[in-house]
Structure 1
Amino acid sequence: MISPSASTVVFKVLFCALLATSIGQSVMLTTLPSMGREANLSEFHIATIMSSSALIFAFGTNVWSKVAKRAGFKRILMVGLTGYSLGTFAFASAWMAGFSGFISGTNLFLALLISRSLQSTIMSATPPSAVGYAVAISSPQARVSAISKVTSASNVGQIVGPAYAGLLVGFGLLAPLYSIVLLTLLALTLVYFKLPVLPPLSQQKSAQQTSDNDQAPSKVPYVFVAACICVFCAMAMMQQSLGFFFIDFYHYSPIEAARQVGVAMMVSAAASLTAQFGWVQKGRISKETMIMLALPLLGVAYLLLFLQHALYLLYVAMALMGLGMGMAYPSLAAAATTYCAPSQQATITGLITATTAMGYVLGPPLAALIYQLDIALPFAVASALIAITTCIVYITLQKTHRHQNKFKTKP
């Protein structure tokens, strides 16, 4: 276990590393629909690129989580940041070839799909190594706060990213993507010089193995993992549809639609960051309470997106969504890693960091399909998905609570 002063430095470095990649993801999601329309690619082309790369990312995070346990979190974090930098450059260059007319149609689609998939293969090392590092140096009681300190970088990135993209998109749709390469290289440099080397998890746990083996694996953490997947699937459906919704419903141009998506995502991220810094990291509310506050908020937010017919209602929905997301991921992640047996720690950490990608495997193609029926229908389906998830998580928490009470009352 590292000292408190070193722990503060660690969380700052991990935050910066995930912030750089979060800004990159936010920039990509903000500009992707507009770039697709500019290059004459369909909604299904964009959805396929997103879901295919997400599928690879989901598998990659599970693999890299186990590798990080053996090789060390810092080394694998650096691998992920390097892959992100090189992959972003290749992905942006494929778009440039399409815009210049060098390639088009199916060839452009394949170039984008391959470059993005290769990027996902390596950049998927970043989240499990960063979150795994945070879990390794935190106690179970402080785990919600520790995970929030690291993952709040995602919310900051969602605030900075759209504004960053909106500022640079005037120089061309690809200017924001190319500039992300510099940000991730700076993060890589910071990790190399400032992040302490933590012994591989397998070495840290060697002294505890005898007592740990007595604790049987549990299926409960997988419920929280599945809930995270549903949360991000709903979010992916929203992000896949929102840019096209601005173009088709509000009749914005592709560049203006990218700016409007940026503003909407900034509103959501600001609310999410308020939730995380306001009470999640202070630890005044239990993870179970936060889960049961967050999921209904998300359901109401997506329902409001489905019903809205004016921009101000859309922004209210995005703010509610941000509040829900700010509490949902860190509390679900903490619940999954707390309720698991020590022998499951690496597997659950890998799965929980893969939930974003898993959600984006299913969400975009589903949204693209039902978008053809009704441009607001993806929001309604997302709301229904969250409602079902809320019921299942509530039942699981009640059963777990009764089981724990029964165990405590045994003589």
Structure 2
Amino acid sequence: MLTSSASTTVFRILFCALLATSVGQSVMLTTLPSMGRQANLSEFHIATIMSSSALIFAIGTNVWSKVAKHAGFKRILMVGLAGYSVGTFAFASAWMAGFSGIIGGTNLFLALLISRSMQSTIMSATPPSAVGYAVAISSAQGRVSAISKVTSASNVGQIIGPAYAGLLVGVGLLAPLYSIVILTLMALTLVYLKLPILAPSAQQHAAQSVNTDNPSKTKSPYIFVGACVCVFCAMAMMQQTLGFFFIDFYNYTPVEAARQVGFAMMVSAAASLTAQFGWVQKGRVSEETMIMMALPLLGLAYLLLFLQASLFTLYIAMTLMGLGMGMAYPSLAAAATTYCTPSQQPSITGLITATTAMGYIVGPPLAASIYQYDIALPFATASALLAVTTCIIFITLQQLKKSGQNT
């Protein structure tokens, strides 16, 4: 185990690495619907790009999780950051070719799909290596806090990214994407120079410190992983829909819609960050309690989005969504890694870091399909999904409590 000061430094470096990629992802999600409309691509084109790259990301995360265990977390984290930088440049360049009229229609769609998919193949190395490192240097009791310290970078990125995108879209819709390359290269340099190489024995700690009293495999971790997928599927439906919703319901231009989406995501991310720093990382509430607070809150948030008649209601919904997300992911991730057996640890870590991508496999195409019938229907569907998820998790936690497996 690392010393307290060394652990603090490591968490800060891992935070910065994930922050760079999170800013990049939030910039991309903020501007993607507007770029699609600008290039005359349909909602289905944008959904296909998001869904296909998410599928590759989900598969890649599982593969890289196992590779990182043997090749080293630092080395694989550097691979992920390098791939993100090169992939972002290629993806932005494909858009540039489309806006310049060099390619268009099906050719542009294929260029975007291929470049984004290739990017996902390599950048999927980043989350499992960062989270795996955090789990390896933390105790079982401190796992919720450790995961939250690292994954809170996502929330900070969702605050910075939309504001950053909104500032630069005035220069051009592609300016935010190109500038992200510089940010991820800076993160790569930081990891290379400052992140210590974790000893093989320390890396094995992650697979030896969980549920050592229960050698048999259990299905409980997979239920928590599934719940995490549902949480991100609902979020993907919202992000796929929101940009188009601002254009079609509030009659904003593509650039104005990108700015409004950015502000809405900032509000949500700020609330999420408040939840994580306010009580999640302090460890005063059990992971089970946080889960049962977060899931109903998310269901309510999506219901309000469906019922909205004004921007005020929308921002209230985004605030509630942020609070729910701030508690949901770290608590579900901690529950999954706590209730798994040592032999399940590598695969569960890979799965839990792939849940975002898994949600984005189904969410965007589903949202794009039902958007054609009613532009607010994706929000209602997301709310119903979270309601069902809440019931399943409640039953699972009750069963674990009865069987005496809860920590």
Q: Which band: TM-score by shorter chain?
A: over 0.9
Mark the CA change 1:289 to 1:182 in structure 2 (over 3 Å): closer, same or farther: same
State the distance in 1 between where 2:386 and 2:208 align: 38
Q: Is the 8 A contact 1:212 1:343 kept in 2?
A: no
Contact 2:233–2:358 (CA under 8 A) maintained in structure 1: yes
CA distance in 2, matches of 1:277, 1:220: 28
CA contact (8 A) 2:13 2:195 kept: yes
| Match in the other structure for 1:339 | 339
TM-score, normalising length: structure 1: 0.97
* Aligned position for 1:77: 77
1:39-97 superposed Cα distances (whole Å, 9 cap, x missing partner): 00000000000000000000000000000011110000000000000000000000000
User: Aligned runs of 1:97-176 on 2, under 5 Å?
Assistant: 97-176=97-176
C-alpha distance in 1, partners of 2:207/2:20?
36
* Per-residue CA distance 1:120-176 (angstroms, 9 max, x = gap): 000000000000000011011100000000000000000000000000111100000
- Contact between 1:271 and 1:319, CA under 8 Å: does it hold in 2? yes
1:86 and 1:206, CA in 2 relative to 1: closer, same or farther beyond 3 A? closer
Say if 2:184 is the partner of 1:189. Answer: no
1:404 counterpart residue number: 404
Cα 1:14–1:258 shift into 2, 3 Å? same
Q: Distance between the aligned counterparts of 1:182 and 1:378, measured in 2?
A: 35
Cα distance in structure 2, aligned partners of 1:26 and 1:8: 26
Partner of 1:354: 354
Please tell me the residue identity of whatever aligns with 2:104. S
Residue aligning to 1:370? 370
Q: What is the alpha-carbon distance in structure 1 between the residues aligned to residue 207 and residue 251 of structure 2?
A: 63
> How far apart in 1 are the matches of 2:45 and 2:284?
45
Q: CA deviation at 1:206?
A: 11
Q: Whole-Å Cα distance in 1 between the matches of residues 206 and 358 of structure 2?
A: 32
Measured after TM superposition, the shift of residue 208 of structure 1 is 5.7
Contact kept, 8 Å, 2:207 with 2:342, in 1: the verdict is no
Q: Is contact 1:297–1:320 with CA below 8 Å preserved after alignment? A: yes
Q: Does 1:388 align with 2:388?
A: yes
Does the 8 A contact of 2:137 with 2:206 survive in 1?
Answer: no
Cα shift readout 1:325-368 (whole Å, capped 9, x = no counterpart): 00000000000000000111110000000000000000000000
CA separation of 1:203/1:246 partners in 2, compared to 1, >3 Å: closer, same or farther?
closer
1:200, distance to aligned residue in structure 2 (A) = 3.7
Look up the equivalent residue of 2:121 and give its one-letter code: T
Does the 8 Å CA contact 1:51/1:360 hold for their aligned counterparts? yes
Cα–Cα, structure 1 residues 80 and 64, in superposed 2: closer, same or farther, change >3 Å?
A: same
Contact 1:71–1:200, Cα closer than 8 Å, also in 2: no
Q: CA deviation at 1:199?
A: 2.4
The 1-side partners of 2:170 and 2:214 are apart by 60
Q: In the alignment, residue 322 of structure 1 is paired with which amino acid?
A: G
For the Cα contact (< 8 Å) 1:69–1:202, is it kept in 2? no
Q: Is the 8 A contact 2:20 2:184 kept in 1?
A: yes
Q: Is the 8 A contact 2:299 2:382 kept in 1?
A: yes
Q: Tell me, in whole angstroms, the C-alpha distance in 1 between the residues paired with 2:310 and 2:205.
A: 55
Q: Secondary structure at the match of 2:282?
A: coil
Matched residue pairs, number? 406
Identity %: 81
Structure 2 unmatched ranges of 5 or more: none
Give the structure 2 partner of residue 44 of structure 1: 44
Equivalent position of 1:282 in the other structure: 282
Structure 2 letter corresponding to 1:392:
I
Q: C-alpha displacement at 1:2, in angstroms? A: 1.0
Q: Name whichever of 191-200 and 38-47 sits farther off.
A: 191-200
CA distance in 1, matches of 2:143, 2:180: 30
Structure 1 residues 394 and 208, CA gap change in structure 2 (3 angstroms): closer
3-state SS of the aligned residue for 1:295?
Answer: helix
Match of 1:177 in 2: 177
Q: Could you tell me which residue of structure 2 aligns to residue 305 of structure 1?
A: 305
Measured after TM superposition, the shift of residue 292 of structure 1 is 0.1
Consecutive unaligned residues in structure 1, runs of 5 or more: none
1:148 and 1:321 map into 2 onto residues whose CA distance is 17
Q: Contact conserved, 1:47 with 1:364, CA < 8 A, in 2?
A: yes
Where 2:141 maps in the other structure, the secondary structure is helix
- Alpha-carbon distance in 2 for matches of 1:203, 1:325: 28
Alignment partner of 1:171: what SS? coil
| TM-score normalised per structure 2 | 0.97
Structure 1 distance, partners of 2:324, 2:307, is 19
Tell me by how many angstroms 1:212 deviates. 5.1
Distance 1:361 1:208 in 2: 32
Q: Which amino acid aligns with 2:219?
A: K
Give distance in 2, aligned partners of 1:129 and 1:7.
Answer: 16
Shift of residue 203, structure 1, vs aligned partner: 6.3
Q: Provide the residue aligned with 2:61 in structure 1.
A: 61
2:173 alignment partner AA: L
RMSD (Å) for aligned C-alpha atoms: 1.7
Q: CA distance change for structure 1 residues 214 and 331 in 2, over 3 Å: closer, same or farther?
A: closer
Equivalent in the alignment of 2:217: 217
Contact 1:267 1:322 in 2 (8 A): yes
Sort the Cα spacing of 1:30 and 1:215 in 2 relative to 1 into closer, same or farther, 3 A: same
